[in-house]
Structure 1
Amino acid sequence: MTYEEQILHILSQVGERGISVSMLAKNIYNMNCTLFSQPDMQEVYRMVQQYLLKNSKSSQSLIESTGRRGYYRLNTGNNAVARQLMLDFREEEMTEDEEEEEKSQQDLSLNLFDEFFS
């Protein structure tokens, strides 16, 4: 996933309450840290801040400010793309949950009488 996709995914998870720029930058930083490479935290913060500012300029933008200084959320009220993103990410999460339910519903018990009746 690119930084932009990661930002949109996190914003879809936080919902209406929004998230601060610093928390969003920390989440993006942690998503991209590996054993062999670590991005620069200041660079990630600047990129997240610029992306949010660029995509929250008008009332029709994909992202909007929550009213609190430095907090942003998806603009689901005025932007159809944001509403679709919320649905797409929710469907993706539901399929992962369904897979976990299937695994937990499988019968893993042993039949004690198979040896006697075969």
Structure 2
Amino acid sequence: MKVFLVLGCLFAFLSIAIGAFGAHGLEGKISAHSLQIYKTGVQYQMFQTAGIFLVALLLDKFGSSTTLTWAGWLMVLGIVLFSGSLYALSVTNVKIIGAITPIGGVLFLVSWVLVAISVLKS
């Protein structure tokens, strides 16, 4: 549980820092389309960060759970792959990086299904 609280804090901090950098450091330096891609990465990172906090709270409430633990790690990896690829794509315009994004999105989806399964089983 504690690891997910720490990771949640780290990803929340990074969402704010990366978002501020995009708003103040990238505006006018990259295209409006690329900036929107960047903002999507920030938005989904913060959504999944809330999910990581939820996993930590559910682990505290229900105790150790392999399913919840997997959900938390898939959220972490999903952030890295989904949001990370969008950040890289938006600032480099290397289109092949965009092929990684759906993998992160699938990890997000699976992680939420695992959370639901854990809640239903408890």
TM-score (norm 2): 0.28
Larger radius of gyration: 1
**Higher helix proportion:** 2
Larger strand percent? 1
